[in-house]
A and B are shown apart, each in its own frame.
Chain A
Amino acid sequence: MTQQPSTGGDVRLTGISKTYGSFTAVHPLDLHIPAGSFFALLGASGCGKTTTLRMIAGLEDPTSGIVELAGNDVTALPPHKRPVNTVFQSYALFPHLDIYENVAFGLRRRGIKSVKKQVDEMLELVQLGDFARRKPQQLSGGQQQRVAVARALINHPKVLLLDEPLGALDLKLRRQMQLELKRIQTEVGITFVHVTHDQEEAMTMADQVAVMNGGRVEQQGAPAELYENPGTTFVANFLGTSNLIEAEVADTSGGDLVLTTEGGKLALPAARCSAPARTGDTVLVGIRPEKISLTHAEDAGTIPDGRNRITGRIADSSFIGVSTQYVIDTPVCSEFAVYEQNIERDSRLVPGAEVVLHWNPAHTFGLDATQDIDAGTQLDEEAA
């Protein structure tokens, strides 16, 4: 509860879990959120991300484990004694108070008498100076959202927790508020922990993303790292789209693993394979649709050597402006997704055409084949 604009504090969760009766919402998890970072907890609904956030806020008692804020153990502290503030889903603005009193609420509860200057400044920051005497229900969704942010930020918390803060806004406003929140975070330097089910939102805003599934953290890292080198099938499918095919390890002698599939041999950099791979093992080979190039079968000879290649037939194509999305029927997978940028369109690439799919082996990633190959696909559709 420092008065000065604090630099953010770090959050450390150690072995934290939450069970409701026989249902485990969060399995024991360890998470370190660095001070001053914009951290996203990403997952489908029911994955335990909001429960985790509420345990940091103190609104939920962990069944086990320790919550540390800026080096202090706060596990036993009630919410009103923790130096964190929350922006709630659907904002939870006090309907009986006007905007000014909503924003001043935290300051007043800490016994600060002269709140006017700070409240005015904060309302200016979120561009709501003229609305101070309105009631929350008289504002639009976006304005209410900004009030909720102002009400939390005015207290200079060490950590700001955001629980799906943009879920109720329409797409255009959501994009605008994403940039706005990112700007505010850079300006105040407070640690932001952002819970969302929108993978695009998490990737645009956060420096660090933890992908949660079934009460566990599947993978944590910078957005680009998670996207380029997912560690599990869930991450591969939930963050964007991936083509996953089963393959057998044929040779591990070089820097690249050589894999055999029904469609031919593929190369995979050993460092990009998260599964143990000995000769004879089965692994899942993944490739993002936009990394793949399509060449008509007649021009197969023009494809440079050293690229992974699979042959197939175009089953479907849909033109969506910046790109064309193809579904290719191949021996390894009947629905191979390929996104081609619309730069030089080959008019022969229509459904029914025989094509060769080829890509730089460096973009290939390898996953443990014991996982569910479709994990995360339905969830993504549901969340979107």
Chain B
Amino acid sequence: MALTRWIRRNLVVVAGLGTLAYLILPNVVVLVFSFNKPNGRFNYEWQRFSTDAWTDPCGVADMCGSLSLSLKIAVWATIGATVLGTMIAFALARYRFRARPAVNSLIFLPMAMPEVVMAASLATLFLNMGVDFGFWTILIAHIMFCLSFVVTAVKARVMSMDPRLEQAAQDLYASPAQTFLRVTLPIAAPGIAAGALLSFALSFDDFIITNFNAGSTVTFPMFVWGSAQRGTPVQINVIGTAMFAIAVLCVLAGQLAGNRRKRS
């Protein structure tokens, strides 16, 4: 009786903690198994504690190469998609032109279409054009599907911006270039940042589209997939845990900075 009453009173907390556990449990497993020392080639059963993988994260052949390639592609895809996407978002939000309605809906296609379909048709396109698969085909594919996310994030921000702010800047002697740099861009910045972060995450862990358009090039997600067939090195867990930790740190830093700004 006492227990049911307690649960009823703390239902929100219980549900919250349950959801959090659901979200975080896989990450905990990855973390725990990054300290495992498996007997065979598969890291699926707990044997004993070891920091071997952490002290030698690049000990597996080709893994760090694929990791750095993935990072490189993610950085360039983020830059490309953010710059292009921001410009498209401004164009869509600010100007009336003939193809605007078409662009407005077509930009969502990459979000809506099944990834496999898009991946296969892209590969067909590259093949028919006689393009060699590799870094550039992956990058082009990544920029394409990241674009829609950047456009969506930035456009929402630009649309909600009071046009009088820019007029006020001009009225206060700011030239068009100064108005953009001093007022428009800083106000649109949160949207742009959100789009960029999304792009990085999407590009870094994309497997399907990359797999179709990579040729013999191997990115980190492809490496993980490939090695899962033959045996999973503990180092994969190390990289996974590290990525998770970095992401959490980024979020925490962002929230701290936001809080401090609010308080001052």
A interface with B by C-beta (< 8 Å): 1, 57-59, 78-81, 84-86, 88-90, 92-96, 105-106, 109-110, 133, 151-152, 155
Q: Are B172 and A92 in contact (CB under 8 A)?
A: no
Which of chain B's residues 236-264 have a Cβ closer than 8 Å to chain A?
Answer: 264
- Quick check: is B162 within 8 A (CB to CB) of the other chain? yes
Q: Are B165 and A79 in contact (CB under 8 A)?
A: no
Q: Are A109 and B165 in contact (CB under 8 A)?
A: no
Nearest A residue (CB) for B173:
A109
Q: A90-B164, A95-B187, A96-B186 are in contact. Are A85 and B174 (CB under 8 A)?
A: no
Cβ distance A131 to chain B, nearest Cβ, rounded Å: 13
| B172 interface neighbour in A58, A59, A78, A151, Cβ under 8 Å | A151
Cβ distance B124 to chain A, nearest Cβ, rounded Å: 46
Cβ distance A251 to chain B, nearest Cβ, rounded Å: 57
- CB neighbours of B182 from chain A (8 A): 105, 109
Q: Are B168 and A94 in contact (CB under 8 A)?
A: yes
Q: A80-B174, A80-B175, A109-B174 are in contact. Are A96 and B187 (CB under 8 A)?
A: yes
A-B contact pairs, 24 of them (CB 8 A): A1-B173, A58-B171, A79-B170, A80-B172, A80-B174, A80-B179, A85-B172, A86-B168, A86-B171, A88-B168, A92-B165, A94-B165, A94-B168, A96-B186, A96-B187, A96-B189, A105-B169, A105-B172, A105-B182, A106-B172, A109-B175, A109-B178, A110-B173, A155-B172
- Quick check: is B183 within 8 A (CB to CB) of the other chain? yes
Nearest B residue (CB) for A103:
B172
Q: Are B171 and A79 in contact (CB under 8 A)?
A: yes
Nearest A residue (CB) for B186:
A96
Nearest A residue (CB) for B178:
A109
Cβ distance A254 to chain B, nearest Cβ, rounded Å: 56
- CB neighbours of B178 from chain A (8 A): 109
- A133–B169 alpha-carbon span in the complex (Å): 20
- Quick check: is B19 within 8 A (CB to CB) of the other chain? no
Q: A106-B173, A109-B178 are in contact. Are A133 and B168 (CB under 8 A)?
A: no
- Quick check: is B167 within 8 A (CB to CB) of the other chain? yes
- CB neighbours of B189 from chain A (8 A): 96
Smallest CB-CB A-B distances: 6 pairs:
A106-B172, A92-B164, A92-B168, A109-B173, A79-B170, A96-B186
Cβ distance A369 to chain B, nearest Cβ, rounded Å: 43
Q: Are B167 and A59 in contact (CB under 8 A)?
A: yes
- A133–B174 alpha-carbon span in the complex (Å): 22
Q: Are A88 and B167 in contact (CB under 8 A)?
A: yes
Q: Are A155 and B173 in contact (CB under 8 A)?
A: yes
Interface size bucket, B side? Answer: 20 to 34
Total A-B contacts with CB atoms under 8 angstroms apart: 68
- A81–B183 alpha-carbon span in the complex (Å): 18
- CB neighbours of A96 from chain B (8 A): 183, 186-187, 189
Nearest B residue (CB) for A79:
B170
Besides A81-B173, A85-B171, A96-B186, 10 new A-B residue pairs in contact (Cβ under 8 A), listed by A number: A1-B173, A58-B170, A80-B174, A88-B167, A90-B162, A92-B164, A94-B168, A105-B182, A109-B182, A152-B171
- CB neighbours of B164 from chain A (8 A): 88-90, 92
Cβ distance A338 to chain B, nearest Cβ, rounded Å: 45
Q: Are A80 and B264 in contact (CB under 8 A)?
A: no
- A57–B167 alpha-carbon span in the complex (Å): 10
Nearest A residue (CB) for B190:
A96
- A106–B183 alpha-carbon span in the complex (Å): 13
- CB neighbours of A58 from chain B (8 A): 170-171
- CB neighbours of B179 from chain A (8 A): 80
| A109 interface neighbour in B167, B172, B186, B264, Cβ under 8 Å | B172
Q: Are A78 and B168 in contact (CB under 8 A)?
A: no
Encoded as 1 (CB less than 8 Å from any A CB) or 0, chain B from 182 to 207 comes to 11001101000000000000000000
Nearest A residue (CB) for B189:
A96
| A57 interface neighbour in B171, B186, B187, Cβ under 8 Å | B171
Q: Are B168 and A80 in contact (CB under 8 A)?
A: no
Nearest B residue (CB) for A101:
B182
Cβ distance A108 to chain B, nearest Cβ, rounded Å: 9
Nearest B residue (CB) for A54:
B167
- A238–B182 alpha-carbon span in the complex (Å): 43
Cβ distance A244 to chain B, nearest Cβ, rounded Å: 39
Nearest A residue (CB) for B166:
A92
- A81–B178 alpha-carbon span in the complex (Å): 13
Cβ distance B172 to chain A, nearest Cβ, rounded Å: 4
- A133–B262 alpha-carbon span in the complex (Å): 11
Nearest B residue (CB) for A109:
B173
Cβ distance A146 to chain B, nearest Cβ, rounded Å: 16
- A105–B174 alpha-carbon span in the complex (Å): 9
Cβ distance B11 to chain A, nearest Cβ, rounded Å: 35
Encoded as 1 (CB less than 8 Å from any A CB) or 0, chain B from 122 to 149 comes to 0000000000000000000000000000
- A1–B172 alpha-carbon span in the complex (Å): 11
Cβ distance A86 to chain B, nearest Cβ, rounded Å: 5
